Amino acid sequence: MTDAQSPVPCRIYVDADACPVKSEVYKVAERHGVPVRVVSNSFLRLPPDPRLELVVVGEALDAADDWIAARAGPKDVVVTADVPLASRCVKAGACVIAPDGRLFTPESIGMALATRNLMTELREAGQVTGGPKAFSARDRSAFLSALHEAIEGLKRAG
């Protein structure tokens, strides 16, 4: 699959190892005819669709993040919950969407990084013992809407 085969001027990169919305990405991508690169540290089974490409990057720490960040740009959508990766991709001009539908933007990424760093410090100090909230149907719906809107926006931008 080559990016030139896409009828719209974009690609979707999925930080796939812990992504709860892969099947939603595949459905939206099929509807819009957008190629998807599913980036993982290990083999994943993908639906039979020529627009879907699995990229296995190996088990090195941050290998998937580095691969995506090196390629994502202004005509791309990146799906990730990883805030440092989101920051790198936002700086490259990509549209970045978390699995809960939250958009990472130039205006919001600084606060997202600060919050992540604070929570990391609190966990390391033993102050925070809980993890993130459970993924909900509302999150899934917000993600679907955000992904659809991002692709439509890229189509309009041409």
Name the range with the highest mean pLDDT among 7-16, 83-92, 110-119, 132-141.
Answer: 83-92
- Rounded to 5°, the CA angle 151-61-58 comes to 75
88-92, 121-125, 146-150: the lowest-pLDDT one: 121-125
C-alpha distances in Å from residue 89, one per residue of 46, 56, 106: 24, 19, 10
Collapse the DSSP code of 71 into the 3-class scheme (helix H, G, I; strand E, B; otherwise coil) and give the result.
helix
Domains detected in the chain = 3-157 (3.40.50)
pLDDT at 2 over 50: no
Structure tokens at 5: 């085969």
Q: What is the pTM of this model?
A: 0.85
Sign of CA dihedral 31, 34, 40, 43: positive
